Chain A
Amino acid sequence: MALQRLTFRLRQTVTHVRSLHTSGCTQQQEAVAVESQPEPFSVFRTQENDPGCQTEKHIGQHYTLPSAHINTLFPHGLPWRFKQRVKTFNEACMMVRQPALEVISYLKKTDFSKPALRYLFYGPKGTGKTMSLCHTVHFCYTQGWLVLHVPDAHLWVKNCKELLPSSYNSSRFDQPLQAAEWLRNFRITSEQFLSKIKTKQRYVWTKRESTEEGSPLGQLVDQGISRVKCSSDVVGAVMKELRLQSGQPESNFHLAVAVDGVNALWGRSTIMKQDKSAMDPGELTLVYNLRKLMQNDWIGGAIITALSQTGSLYTPKSVYLPQELLGERGFDYMDPFIPASVSNYSEKEFESCCLYYMDRHWLQHPQSQTEEGKKEIIFLSNRNPRMLERICAFL
């Protein structure tokens, strides 16, 4: 009798449990059905497109840059080969890598009342310094910062078609073409801020033209673009305004200065003066003003830079460390900075890159998809991102 009651009670509990279990199951199934439909699971891709939300577990995975962001943020910032790739694949996918994530995590914790911190990406050739810089710039943009992006400082110290003596300071030289181009790109990048920021000073360009105090920054920029002759001074004025105003309580923007190829500012230039003597980069207005921005004497933002040996002048191919590339002057100027070392792909990152190429049907050769082929590619490229990309380009 007691046994029967026991079994009955057990049976009840069992049925209870069973019903609970089944209901739980159905709930789970529904949830799974809801989740699995929109997102196919892939090892090399992540749906987390916001750089601010990316964590360590996204390392090695590709995230997509929205095309709207690319048009506004990177009119001139992305490397040439990456732009070709974007055009071919019809999507801009960048790999999440550890150095960029590190710098982004520091940027998230910046104290805007303290002077701006300087971050420097360095590493051997072709390891992805420029791409890491672009990644951090994208992060700053999504956070609503004002980005001042100089895609390659080397372009300002070589191949100068027009060189004018500066009207502001007779010992310096102007580069109207480069300055005007940069201003045009800057206008695209910072559309939303141009009307909000007002100048704090009156600028006189010629006898008849001047920009009054309190006029929007957009007007200043337009002035530089239309009057090409004074564009370098306009650039200097813009930089000065932004430097003074960022971090002030009344201005509600944060400034991110991103410079690629920072070693050009303290290196040598191939531009020659009229009497065929070599020009020091410090004598160029653009470089001079940019150097002032590199100083950490302003608050309310951050300075993110990357070294580059590829476009640099008079540096041997094997150097990549900051001390060697920046030189003594540059290193003293930039010191102290937070270095971020960028190296070749790890195994996981390499696999992810290969999977991405296969997904995009970029690797057409049948052997490139086998294990043997992968080993050959590893050997030939030594997991260097640039080499890998070049080799896969004809596979």
Chain B
Amino acid sequence: TALPCNSYECSLSKCIKNNSIALSAVSASLRDICVSCALHRKNLAAAGPEKFTVEFIQKQAEEFNIGKRHLANMMGEDPESFTQEDIDRSIAYLFPSGLFDKKARPLMKHPEEIFPKQRAIQWGADRRPFHFLFYTGKQMYYSVMHCQKMSHQKHTSPFQYSLRMLTRVSISSLGTSRWFTKEELEALLVETISTHDYNHFIQLMERLLSLPYCATEVEFVLRYRRQLEAPSAKRIVPLLQRDEWGVAFSTSDGCRKTSNCSVVLRECGSGCITINGQNYLHYFPTLQDREQLMFPFQFTGMLGRFDLECTVSGGGRSSQAGALRLATSRALLSFLSEREAENMRQAGLLTPDPRVRERKKPGQEGARRKFTWNKR
């Protein structure tokens, strides 16, 4: 059963409320009571989020499509096969912005993605509600629970017993996925849900899964689960090449903060390391940096086997060491087995460090440090 589609219109209840306010204001003036201007001022917070009508959204969608075709013509591309990525690319080209916050930059997307989803008018012209669970107050939530309850009862009914024999339990078809969080569920149902309701929902889903013949309901359940991507599936192993003397080598890059580096790892068996043409003992006089460089080799137990030739630029000595460490771990992947690579990933050698310098904010002395507080 599909959810009733939400159309965007002002709720009638809101209009009634506004009228009541107007009536009370009129009656107050009639009574000749000294009323302050505050009462006449519109209470903006109480109105709630702005409501968009269906016609408004449809008009926006038409304008968006026309604009998309114009943009395609401007960029000299085919309007028929102009995808959202092309739109993003073109906008970034036509309106280059130096703002750091990606959300503050100019964007052009379908109105469905820009305007927040809102609940439609739930009743018709005869003021009878469409959904049979309207008077519960949380119609979407209860409709979902009802679907479950129905399937639950379907399972325990003895008449479908023979059919159910054919379908066995397959929890594994769920794959690596997790239940929706409360926020995600609210976004899906376009309805506020309390914590108690959410827990009840999860309980019911788990109960459904524990039943013997839940394989048929897998698609229903999957609607409320989010897939977790296994990070190991996305690993890019650098190519293992051979140079003219038959020595195996691999190249990779790494970065940390503002440093960038590229590393060529050769399987010579000498353990000689050159950074920007200098010996690594000379480039990194500090022990800590050399320990960082040593970590990938020490972890995999391949200390004396490799020869490193690196170029690094930008940042300070510590960030350069971190960048080199990342690059060497990536380059080592092509010499390692799957299990060792997984070990490296869990050790954190393959994760680029996301920490960057936080910007200074106005009104503060630094990123976090505030000005000295003076009592007077």
Chain A residues within 8 Å of B, Cβ to Cβ: 124, 317-318, 372, 375-376, 378-382, 384, 387, 391
Contact = CB atoms under 8 A, between A and B. Distances in A.
B301 A372 contact: yes
Nearest to A390: B287
Interface string B271-310: 1000000111110000100110010011001011000000
A380 B303 contact: no
Given A376-B294, A376-B298, A382 B281 contact: yes
Contact of B278 (A318, A379, A381): A318
Contacts of B281: 381-382, 384, 387
Contacts of A372: 298, 301, 303
A21 B281 CA distance: 59
A379 B303 contact: yes
29 contacts: A124-B279, A124-B282, A317-B282, A318-B282, A372-B298, A372-B301, A372-B303, A375-B303, A375-B304, A376-B294, A376-B298, A376-B303, A378-B271, A378-B303, A378-B304, A379-B271, A379-B294, A379-B297, A379-B298, A379-B303, A380-B287, A380-B290, A381-B281, A382-B279, A382-B280, A382-B281, A384-B281, A387-B281, A391-B287
B277 to A, nearest CB: 10
Contacts of B271: 378-379
A380 B290 CA distance: 6
A391 B290 CA distance: 12
A382 to B, nearest CB: 4
Contacts of B287: 380, 391
B104 to A, nearest CB: 46
A317 B282 CA distance: 9
Contacts of A376: 294, 298, 303
A226 B227 CA distance: 90
A375 B305 CA distance: 10
B303 to A, nearest CB: 4
Nearest to B291: A380
Interface of B: 271, 278-282, 287, 290-291, 294, 297-298, 301, 303-304
A124 B281 CA distance: 11
Nearest to B287: A380
A318 B278 CA distance: 9
A380 B294 contact: yes
Contacts of A382: 279-281
B108 to A, nearest CB: 54
B4 to A, nearest CB: 67
A395 to B, nearest CB: 12
A381 B293 CA distance: 12
A379 B280 CA distance: 10
Nearest to B290: A380
Contacts of A384: 281
Nearest to A386: B281
Contacts of B297: 379
Top 10 A-B pairs, shortest CB-CB distance: A375-B303, A382-B281, A379-B294, A380-B290, A375-B304, A379-B303, A384-B281, A376-B298, A318-B282, A380-B294
A108 B87 CA distance: 85
Nearest to B298: A376
B154 to A, nearest CB: 63
B329 to A, nearest CB: 16
Contacts of B279: 124, 382
Contacts of A378: 271, 303-304
Given A317-B282, A376-B298, 19 more contacts: A124-B279, A124-B282, A318-B278, A372-B298, A372-B303, A375-B303, A376-B303, A378-B303, A378-B304, A379-B271, A379-B290, A379-B294, A379-B298, A380-B287, A380-B291, A380-B294, A381-B281, A382-B280, A391-B287
Contacts of A317: 282
Contacts of A381: 281
A298 B301 CA distance: 59
A12 B303 CA distance: 65
Contacts of A318: 278, 282
A9 to B, nearest CB: 63
A375 B271 CA distance: 10
A180 to B, nearest CB: 36
A277 to B, nearest CB: 34
A382 B280 CA distance: 9
Nearest to A380: B290
Nearest to A125: B282
